[in-house]
Chains A and B, each alone.
Chain A
Amino acid sequence: MAEEIVFEKIKGIHKVPREEFYSSGHRTCEGCESAMVMRMFSKASGPRTIALGTTGCMYVANTAYMTTPWVIPWMHTQLGAGGSAALGTSAGLRALMKKGKIPEEKINTIAFCGDLGGADMGLSAISSALQTDYDLLIILYDNESAANTDIQATGMTTWGAQTTFTPTGKVKRIMQTRWKKNVAGMLAAGHPNVKYIATAIASFPPIDLLNKVRKALSAGGPAFIHTLDPCPKGWDYHPRYSDKLGELAARSGIFPLYEIDHGTAKLTYNPPKPRVPVKEYLEKQGRFAHLKDEDFQYIQQRVDSMWEDWEIPGIIPVRNGTIRSEK
């Protein structure tokens, strides 16, 4: 086994590593928060990291046309293959070290995948990676659509949102009628071998994502982080407000921030009460411009139910022996 290293906790924005391992010159949108996830995870993990990425914005924008902003080695893998790529890479490193072909040392294996590639298509590969004892981290960067193919709904798109698959119409106002999956909770409940699981938002609370990545990398086994990434293009807001939208997602409670560290679940951010109404988060995005008051109320009621009726609020939907998703 590779030597286990414990990463130091970053205690304030002035202590964030200055060096960039995902540098300037990428083909992302103005204000892209998923780019921020790339920047922050690589800052936290440092130079001895191999990154793997599935097809999607964070592949196409970062390696197309023979140029790249990556400083650390990075490899593209198929849309649903984030879990397999992480598993194969980590197993390969272990084998090479065992055979003495490369020196024994800690090399971080981090695979990232989008919400379509990870939470929909790639769920089975992630599941099998999390059943092993390999040292690997899978980051699900969730911009709530298949963004790279021009914004199609996925299983992670917020209820009611417009996408190119779910445009509003004269007969039906709401086309995205699926409720967002709780992927981190689902993976935690079903994978006893997983060492660390968390949800995060790259810009809120500041440094939270960096420290969660460090915890995940020092957990001594498979780990998984789900980030919610405001996407100025698909969500339709001015790019300068990515930080604000991330903050509102946390404060309104629509995206609970938690970690499950070796089986112990904990909210890492408890939205101050009264929670910000979800409408304040939703109405700032053009993709919800068609919603009516009754729609906002419906979403609010489901978010409230998640915080008030669940046994572990925001994490596990169990109450009095019933698995529930709705009041």
Chain B
Amino acid sequence: MGKISTLLDEVAEADIKNVEVNYRGIFQKTLARKICKTLVYAAKEEERTGFSYGRYSDAPERNGVPCKYFAVVAEMSEEDLEAEAGAKIEPNDVNVSIVVDDTMVKGVEPWGFSGIRPINEKVKLGGTLLVVSERSPLELLKNVAKKDFPYKIAVVPGKHSFSGLWVYKDDFTDARVLGALARIEPDIVGLEALRKVVPEKLGAEKIDALNDGYKSVIIKSIAPGEGIDWPYSIPTLPKWHEFKEGIVVKSVARGGRNEDYKRFTTRTMRPVIRFDTCIKCDLCWYACPDECFDPTPDGLFDVNYNYCVGCGRCAEVCPVPNTIVMVDELKFENNDSPYHEYKKDKEAYIEWADQKMGEKRVNYPFVTGTGLIEENVKKNDGEKG
């Protein structure tokens, strides 16, 4: 007994490095897995042990829902590392938390009973939140919860890379993130080791991307107390005796919605609606699989952003060009009713909506992993948002 506990203490003191990847379910599953696996191969190159794993409670993964993948490396035997870090749903804290879609900095609600959690929740003292983004660390910080100890926010410049289950969008984001990681925490994975394994595991053509990630990462120190007060409460799990007999779950009252799962952290884009050009055809309301549209007394449709997952079906079916356009979620501060704003001041709302929609429109190919095409807006010619 004495011998075992001493052993365990030694193990606990040993330096275990944890990395997590926050990713969008399915769209970025392959990307997250490639980052974590390659990291472990590189650690093995440096004669350390490691393994990678997905968060069990995320399965079955749903498109868009925030998920996590992990890599753990240490200088110890595989058995010891397995005992120390193996049988866990997720690590208690991480040295680096990678975020491959920057809209997740607004909070992540996995589909388990977890609530909306801060993206930097697991980052430990002196650790780093590494985000793939076209924004600066300070811009991202406007959405991130404050911590009572110093840590860093790093940005590897880029746009979120989305794929599907079968077709992977190989735009080298994996290698760029690994390069950035080597710069931030060379103790977890060194650039030399990555240079050795990346050609074999990810492809020889990715060496430049690896170096580029290393060079281009921007790192900013965040002081204790910097960031926002987290607005969402974390639900407490019911005790075993609080369950109703037969596992009865309370239904939604007529006219209501499921108050216990507002799923907006699933979305990367949100639909912005120009109520003034709407022809009241009902199609957006009919097409929404998440029942987000509320008919208004004047025949328009308000959208409840608390439940919108950003699938884009409403924008796709809307017959009037530029009336529903999908817009980057980070451009918005709240989930307030857009119809309410419109009724308050029509002109101000239209100007606001136009400014949010901007001059660019995205063309979406059918197979997600084949990429996006951005174009300048063409007014009134049938372009879709």
Chain A residues in the interface with B (C-beta under 8 A): 13-14, 16, 18-20, 22-33, 35-36, 39, 47, 57, 60-61, 63-74, 147-151, 162, 203, 206, 232-234, 236-244, 283-287, 289
Contact = CB atoms under 8 A, between A and B. Distances in A.
Contact of A237 (B164, B257, B289): B164
Contacts of A32: 62-63, 289
A27 B252 CA distance: 15
A29 B368 contact: no
Contact of A68 (B258, B281, B304, B365): B258
5 contacts: A25-B263, A29-B63, A63-B249, A238-B366, A286-B164
The 10 closest A-B pairs by CB, nearest first: A25-B258, A240-B312, A236-B164, A29-B63, A24-B307, A284-B366, A67-B260, A30-B311, A31-B311, A286-B167
A150 B261 contact: no
A74 B304 CA distance: 25
A234 B165 contact: yes
A30 B266 contact: yes
Contacts of A61: 62
Interface string B228-254: 000000000010000100000111111
A19 B62 contact: no
Contact of A239 (B286, B295, B307, B311): B311
B303 to A, nearest CB: 11
A238 B289 contact: no
A24 B290 contact: yes
B367 interface: yes
B282 A14 contact: yes
A133 B367 CA distance: 46
B289 A39 contact: yes
Contact of B260 (A66, A232, A233): A66
B237 to A, nearest CB: 9
Given A23-B256, A286-B164, 20 more contacts: A19-B254, A22-B291, A24-B306, A25-B262, A26-B290, A29-B25, A30-B266, A30-B309, A31-B289, A32-B63, A39-B291, A70-B251, A71-B253, A73-B251, A147-B60, A151-B165, A239-B64, A239-B313, A240-B311, A243-B316
B166 interface: yes
B83 interface: no
Given A35-B289, A236-B368, A241-B366, A27 B261 contact: yes
Contacts, number: 192
A236 B165 contact: yes
Nearest to B26: A233
B93 to A, nearest CB: 24
Contacts of B258: 23-26, 67-69
Interface in B177-214: none
Contacts of B167: 236, 286, 289
Main SS class of interface, A: loop
Interface string B352-385: 0000000000001111110000000000000000
B82 to A, nearest CB: 25
B166 A162 contact: yes
Contacts of B266: 30
Nearest to B385: A240
B165 A287 contact: yes
A81 B312 CA distance: 35
A150 B59 contact: yes
A148 B112 CA distance: 15
A55 to B, nearest CB: 12
B316 A241 contact: yes
A233 B61 CA distance: 9
Contacts of B2: none
Interface of B: 25-26, 59-65, 111-113, 164-167, 238, 243, 249-263, 266-267, 281-283, 286-287, 289-292, 295, 304, 306-307, 309-313, 315-317, 364-369
Contacts of B60: 57, 60, 147-150
Nearest to B280: A14
A237 B368 contact: yes
Main SS class of interface, B: loop
B62 A233 contact: yes
Nearest to B266: A30
A68 B259 CA distance: 9
A61 B63 CA distance: 12
A47 B254 contact: yes
A47 B368 CA distance: 38
B197 to A, nearest CB: 23
Contact of A25 (B64, B259, B283): B259
A24 B266 CA distance: 13
B289 A33 contact: yes
Contacts of A60: 60
B64 A68 contact: no
A28 B289 CA distance: 9
A47 B251 CA distance: 13
A24 B257 contact: yes
Which of B165, B167, B304, B309 has most A Cβ within 10 Å? B165
A238 B365 contact: yes
Contacts of A233: 26, 61-63, 164-165
A20 B293 CA distance: 11
A285 B368 CA distance: 9
Contact of B313 (A63, A70, A234, A242): A242
Which of A67, A148, A149 has most B Cβ within 10 Å? A67
Contacts of A18: 295
Contacts of A234: 165
A135 to B, nearest CB: 23
A29 to B, nearest CB: 4
A240 B304 CA distance: 18
B254 A13 contact: no
A83 B263 CA distance: 32
A300 B309 CA distance: 36
B87 to A, nearest CB: 22
B127 to A, nearest CB: 29
A71 B251 contact: yes
